[in-house]
Amino acid sequence: MTTAHDVPAEDLIDAIEDELEDLDAVEAPDWADYSKTGRSRELPPQEDDWWTTRAASLLRKVYLEGPIGVGALKRHYGGKHRKGVEKSHHENGSGSVIRTALQQLEEEGLVEIKNDGRETSAEGQQLLDGLADEIAGEIPELERY
């Protein structure tokens, strides 16, 4: 069976985003219009649906690397902080954005908390594997048999 490891990330995230929009559980809080996604960013995201895209990306990342904590996800979603004359260095992403999106995914039953961090639940794994199988059927070179 095809899993999320076997399909392109962009296609899978788009499919997950469509599913999350249908569930109506993952929606941006009021403060999301004014918040940046990390200290290294100058402006908030300009896309209207950036919250569901980030939640879909988080769900995929938790599936692939789980159990994983918020700190590791902050490092992954961080970026280079350009400091003008000083040397650039890495800054972590926003923990509030990540934590809130993960909590919304938990309320929907797609992610659950374990001792070592967050993992996808059986329902979340089933959703991701089903979407990956659909995507693999659309891409001829990914068909297994």
Q: What is the DSSP string of the chain?
A: ---TTSS-HHHHHHHHHHHHHHH------GGGGT--SBTT-SS----TTHHHHHHHHHHHHHHHH-SB-HHHHHHHT-EEE--TTSPPEEE-B-HHHHHHHHHHHHHHTSEEEETTEEEE-HHHHHHHHHHHHHHHHHSGGG---
Using CA atoms, how far apart are residues 105 and 124, in angstroms rounded to an integer? 9
Beta pairing class for 111-114 and 79-81: unpaired
**88-125 per-position pLDDT tens digit:** 888 888 888 999 999 999 999 999 998 888 999 999 99
**pTM (2 decimals)?**
0.86
Q: May I ask the CATH class of domain 9-142?
A: mainly alpha
16-61 pLDDT, tens digit per residue, is 998 888 877 788 888 888 888 877 777 777 788 888 999 999 999 9
